[in-house]
Amino acid sequence: MRLPLRVLQQDCVFYVRRKFNVTSSLTATSRSAEARRAAILNVWSVPPSDAYRKDSSHYLVSLRLRMPAPIRLRELIRTIRTARTQAEEREMIQKECAAIRSSFREEDNTYRCRNVAKLLYMHMLGYPAHFGQLECLKLIASQKFTDKRIGYLGAMLLLDERQDVHLLMTNCIKNDLNHSTQYVQGLALCTLGCMGSSEMCRDLAGEVEKLLKTSNSYLRKKAALCAVHVIRKVPELMEMFLPATKNLLSEKNHGVLHTSVVLLTEMCERSPDMLSHFRKLVPQLVRILKNLIMSGYSPEHDVSGISDPFLQVRILRLLRILGKGDDDSSEAMNDILAQVATNTETSKNVGNAILYETVLTIMDIKSESGLRVLAINILGRFLLNNDKNIRYVALTSLLKTVQTDHNAVQRHRSTIVDCLKDLDVSIKRRAMELSFALVNGNNIRGMMKELLYFLDSCDPEFKADCASGVFLAAEKYAPSKRWHIDTIMRVLTTAGSYVRDDSVPNLIQLITNSVEMHAYTVQRLYKALLDDISQQPLVQVASWCIGEYGDLLVSGQCEEEEPIQVTEDEVLDVLEGLLVSNLSTPVTRGYSLTAIMKLSTRFSSVNRIKKVVSIYGSSIDVELQQRAVEYNALFKKYDHMRPALLERMPIMEKTSTNGPTEIVQTNGETESAVLDTKLTPAVPQPASQANDLLDLLGGNDVVPVIQTSVPTKPASAGGELLDLLGDLSLTGGPTPAPAPSAPISQPPFLLDGLSSQPLFNDTAAGIPPMTAYNKNGLKIDFTFERSNQNPNISVITIHATNSTEAEMTEFVFQAAVPKTFQLQLLSPSSNIVPALNQGNVTQVIRVLNPQKQQLRMRVKLTYTHKGTPVQDLAEVNNFPPQSWQ
Amino acid sequence: MIKAILIFNNHGKPRLIRFYQYFAEDMQQQIIRETFHLVSKRDDNVCNFLEGGSLIGGSDYKLIYRHYATLYFVFCVDSSESELGILDLIQVFVETLDKCFENVCELDLIFHMDKVHYILQEVVMGGMVLETNMNEIVAQVEMQNRMEKSEGGLSAAPARAVSAVKNMNLPEIPRNINIGDINIKVPSLSPF
């Protein structure tokens, strides 16, 4: 038992080591004390940690002796500190935890507080200590202050309101709130104010309110904060504290004043009624503030020469809330704000803290214009301050005021831009945000230059934010299309890998829509591609553009810039290079393969393209393989459709309400998404065709028609496709198409048709056939069937015959119905209508007509007859009533 | 509101953690690790504010810290606190510790974690600033310590333990020691 004593003596000596750099003025005596300690330190050349380790060996011996008394907290800590590895530490802790548990089991009252203290230490290190929760409650219930103190601390650290255990405390806290010792009451208030749940707050609010009215300032300040907590938990209890607030501000004690202001602030923020009620306190607050500024030196509250800056800051905050949007209150505080702003000494951080708060208050309330100028100028001065913290808050508050006082902030633009070059990341980030906020139509070129420099040199963590900031600003204020494209390309070349995913489709959309810039853009991108293929977004955009506008690139007609001479093979070399490059991501490869495919209609070297595409038909990348296989099919089976399919993308409309995710769908992803859904022929086109249809149907009440050619299409594909089409502005409006979403909600409908072709055997006999179209030798008859299982579905089979002497090739039948219907077109039996009625093309249309309305349909026919393409539209209204009733 | 107060040393070892908002234990440790990671890579001559500790809840929260010799004092606060004010508060807290421990150092914090908590309790309560007057804080903490001591504190426990040791059936090694003869004086040193 002597060992611990010895250890203690050693401890005393070892407590003398490196000191904190507490920058407060060290008194002369403390300095000499320091010197004395330094001398002691020199005598003890053994590093403290070793000495502690030595001691711990004794501890281990004592453990082996199975002493019943649990080791002290200090010894435990010392032992833990000797652990050289994490595993060792864990082992020690586990051993100790086992001892503590058994001690808890034995209901040992003597050492409970010590054990809980040890548990709290382990908890800090991250070890589980929840088994001490109940012990904390037992300690709280103890009569001893020592026990209560550690018990309440344990409760605050280990318990939370998520566990019902905490409710067991309610009664103890209630008793302790009425205890005769103020410190016990203080502990109870503190615990309630930290972790009281709403039930607990309801139960104990009365006690808190009573304590809020005591004359004991130690309890009063704690009660005030406790009341804040109660109000946060149960806002409706706010009324209860209202009478007690009356005298709070006449208190002399600064602690109470401070917490009272916090309480008033909380109440004002929570309820507009309270806010207007407390407006009458403004003169009183102003008086307190005035006293603080004017009063001479008071040692009690002095912090670096300023009287209670914390209280001043709090009062300024409350004034800000009270003065916001209220002329009278604002008027009442104008003078004092001006006084604070001019009288506060700013050589120390505390002074600046007050000044900063004053500025924020001036900006928030309805202050005089002169005062606002003063405030902005203070911030401007802050920007030039050597202290980085001050610079930081200046930028923060300028950011807050930039919306209201844009021009005033503009004056500090050059200083702000200089802050971009600061070494401190926090300041840099603020400066960047502020710079973006300052960009407008007049200064965009200059600002963007600075920001692009910044983008070049900044840390990787900034690049993403900076890049999207540049994109946004460029989109908003671009002086010309060319400048816009140049800027974005500059971002892509310098920070390409950091830009967000949605920037690729955004840029593609931008490029598509600036028709006159196509040649210039594709040429610039091609050059950029030759320089560097590591920046994936750039490569993707470039691939896309080369695919779309490859012909412009090769023809070398660029008005904006010296045209470059490239051959088709060179372009294909570059794209093929992307396919094999290690730097390319799978997505990039997809872009590049699609680009190559697109070039098959723009370039003459089709055979080379065919070869490339077929090679990737066996790629190990599933995505790429699928694309290649589909493209191959396009070359073989559907070659006649290829030129139409690979047409240039139409100009994309960006609906204003679309978020970035939808933008992704509307452009960049269009192709890949379509291909994802395993749909061949007619599908990539519907964008344009459906638009045509839409035009001809003249309104939003049209459901798009989808031609599905592959019966094995997965069920989900339809949904995705519809989604896609929906976003492709079929309905044009800001609400993207309720219609396309409807089929998704009817999955059985889609599935039925896909899984079982001969589903419609149960013909409801007696529906007469009709002729829907008969023109130029092309006759289209409809025959009807109704499904018995679902009478809402009409199955229409079209029979197209050709009475002319030449066959009709590339025959495509499309149909559209009003919105109340849903329509599904299955694949046609052929796309050639043989001449002289020697055969027909059949195609099945399924119409879902839940409201049993009269069927109406518009059809669009395209085919090639004798080498000339023919297109025709027709409306079909004369459906037999049996087909829809 | 102050969401959390963390003290850890230059190696990221926690010396005091106090959360005023519920976080599961593993989350707490994760927050400490992340915070240490963020704070420790900053130079001493940059500003004391950091944004975007992802764990402790979004962009409204800031880390405000001060670095003293071997220790980092980190306060995680939301926008309702004045940044510069919190910096001063950290200073007040550290100076109070310095007064209470007489030239405080890391080891004081390690071995007197409970006391540091008690001091903090008098400065910040439920995430709100309670008192900034150092003399007042020190006086109240000392009064409470005195109360503890008058009860014998935690160190009173050994006195009771002595009797337990006396009556114990010891294993072989100290068999020939006559425990009854040892006159143990209980040191009236600080508890623990």
A581 dihedral zone (left: phi>0; alpha: psi -120 to 50; beta): beta
- The SS3 assignment for A793 reads strand
A65, A77, A228 ranked by CB distance to B110: nearest: A77
Higher pLDDT, A68 or A492: A492
**Residues of B whose CB is below 8 A from A389:** 47-49, 83-84, 87
- Tell me the pLDDT tens digit for each residue of A548-571: 888 888 877 766 677 777 888 888
- Tell me the pLDDT tens digit for each residue of A358-413: 888 888 888 888 888 888 888 888 888 888 888 888 888 888 888 777 787 888 88
Question: DSSP state, A707?
Answer: B
**Residues of B whose CB is below 8 A from A69:** 157-158, 161, 164-165
Please state which of the ranges A92-101, A739-748, B18-27 shows the lowest mean pLDDT.
A739-748
Shortest Cα–Cα distance, B6 to chain A (Å):
10
Instruction: Let me know the angle formed at the C-alpha of A393 by A390 and A397, rounded to the nearest 5 degrees.
Output: 140
Cα–Cα distance between A869 and A851 in angstroms, integer? Answer: 38
The pLDDT profile of chain B, 192 residues, written as one tens digit per residue, is: 898 999 999 998 999 999 988 888 888 888 888 889 888 888 877 888 887 666 666 667 888 999 998 899 999 998 888 888 899 899 999 999 999 988 888 888 889 888 999 999 999 999 999 998 888 899 999 999 988 888 875 555 555 555 555 555 555 444 455 555 555 555 555 555
Supply the DSSP string of A43-85, one letter for each residue. Answer: H--S-HHHHHHHHHHHHHHHHHTT-SSPPPHHHHHHHHHH--S
Shortest Cα–Cα distance, B131 to chain A (Å):
5
**Residues of A whose CB is below 8 A from B147:** 145, 181, 183
Contact B14 A254 (CB under 8 A): no
A18, A121, A426 ranked by CB distance to B113: nearest: A121
B80, B132, B164 ranked by CB distance to A69: nearest: B164
Shortest Cα–Cα distance, A488 to chain B (Å):
27
**Residues of A whose CB is below 8 A from B133:** 254-255, 300-301
- Tell me the pLDDT tens digit for each residue of A761-785: 444 456 778 888 888 888 888 888 8
**Residues of A whose CB is below 8 A from B181:** none
Nearest CA in chain A to B67: A21
When pLDDT is averaged across residues A637-666 and rounded to a whole number, the result is 62
Contact A18 B91 (CB under 8 A): no
| Sheet of A822-825, strands arranged across | A770-775, A778-786, A793-802, A840-848, A822-825
Average pLDDT over chain A reads 75
How much is the pLDDT for B74?
Answer: 93
**Residues of B whose CB is below 8 A from A194:** 20, 125-127
Tell me which residue of A458, A525, A529, A454 sits closest to A486, measured CA to CA.
A525
- Tell me the pLDDT tens digit for each residue of A527-554: 888 888 888 888 888 888 888 888 888 8
Q: Which of B154, B155, B179, B184 to mutate to test the interface with A (most CBs of A within 10 A)?
A: B154
Q: How would residue A742 be classed by pLDDT, with cut points 50, 70 and 90?
A: very low
How much is the pLDDT for B171?
Answer: 52
Contact A69 B157 (CB under 8 A): yes
Higher pLDDT, A47 or A174: A174
Structure tokens given for A459 = 């840390």
Nearest CA in chain A to B93: A22
- Tell me the pLDDT tens digit for each residue of A827-837: 888 888 888 88
Higher pLDDT, A500 or A439: A439
How much is the pLDDT for A134?
Answer: 86
How much is the pLDDT for B52?
Answer: 66
B45, B117, B128 ranked by CB distance to A228: nearest: B128
Q: How would residue A661 be classed by pLDDT, with cut points 50, 70 and 90?
A: very low
When pLDDT is averaged across residues A494-517 and rounded to a whole number, the result is 78
When pLDDT is averaged across residues A187-214 and rounded to a whole number, the result is 89
Q: Is the pLDDT of residue A226 over 90?
A: yes
When pLDDT is averaged across residues A239-263 and rounded to a whole number, the result is 88
How much is the pLDDT for A30?
Answer: 42
B113, B126, B143 ranked by CB distance to A120: nearest: B113
Instruction: Let me know the angle formed at the C-alpha of A639 by A633 and A640, rounded to the nearest 5 degrees.
Output: 145
- Tell me the pLDDT tens digit for each residue of A293-303: 887 667 777 77
A303 interfacial to chain B (CB closer than 8 Å): yes
Nearest CA in chain B to A196: B126
**Residues of A whose CB is below 8 A from B157:** 69, 110-111, 113-114
Q: Is the pLDDT of residue A25 over 70?
A: no
Nearest CA in chain A to B3: A194
Nearest CA in chain B to A13: B107
Q: A449: part of which helix (H) or strand (E)?
A: helix A444-457
Contact A20 B68 (CB under 8 A): yes
- Tell me the pLDDT tens digit for each residue of A476-498: 888 888 888 888 888 888 876 77
Chains A, B: CB contacts within 8 A come to 244
A183 interfacial to chain B (CB closer than 8 Å): yes
Nearest CA in chain B to A461: B52
Contact B46 A423 (CB under 8 A): yes
Q: Which of A124, A300, A389 to mutate to test the interface with B (most CBs of B within 10 A)?
A: A124
- Tell me the pLDDT tens digit for each residue of A102-142: 888 888 777 888 888 899 999 988 888 888 888 888 898 88
How much is the pLDDT for B153?
Answer: 56
B25, B106, B153 ranked by CB distance to A126: nearest: B25
Shortest Cα–Cα distance, A9 to chain B (Å):
10
How much is the pLDDT for B71?
Answer: 92
Shortest Cα–Cα distance, B46 to chain A (Å):
5
A11, A300, A308 ranked by CB distance to B135: nearest: A300
Q: Is the pLDDT of residue A316 over 70?
A: yes
A19, A24, A149 ranked by CB distance to B105: nearest: A19
Question: DSSP state, A730?
Answer: I
- The SS3 assignment for A396 reads helix
pTM for the model stands at 0.62
* Chain A residues 197-256 with CB within 8 Å of chain B: 218, 221-222, 225-226, 228-229, 254-255
Q: A470: part of which helix (H) or strand (E)?
A: helix A460-477
- Close Cβ partners of A608 (under 8 Å, ≥ 6 residues apart): A569, A572
- Tell me the pLDDT tens digit for each residue of A611-630: 888 888 888 888 888 888 88
* CA dihedral (A408, A414, A420, A421) positive or negative: negative
**Residues of B whose CB is below 8 A from A313:** 82, 85
CB A509 within 8 A of CB A485: no
| pLDDT over 70 percentage in chain A | 78
A11, A218, A388 ranked by CB distance to B140: nearest: A218
Q: Is the pLDDT of residue A583 over 50?
A: yes
Shortest Cα–Cα distance, A7 to chain B (Å):
12
A22 interfacial to chain B (CB closer than 8 Å): yes
**Residues of B whose CB is below 8 A from A114:** 154, 157, 192
How much is the pLDDT for A6?
Answer: 38
How much is the pLDDT for A495?
Answer: 77
Q: Which of B18, B41, B47 to mutate to test the interface with A (most CBs of A within 10 A)?
A: B47
**Residues of A whose CB is below 8 A from B15:** 124
B28, B43, B108 ranked by CB distance to A15: nearest: B108
Tell me which residue of A842, A844, A678 sits closest to A752, measured CA to CA.
A844
Helices (H), B8-104: 25-40, 83-101
A482 interfacial to chain B (CB closer than 8 Å): no
Higher pLDDT, A748 or A543: A543
Nearest CA in chain B to A129: B25
Nearest CA in chain A to B141: A183
- Close Cβ partners of A64 (under 8 Å, ≥ 6 residues apart): none
Cα–Cα distance between A558 and A218 in angstroms, integer? Answer: 81
**Residues of B whose CB is below 8 A from A429:** 51
Contact B95 A22 (CB under 8 A): yes
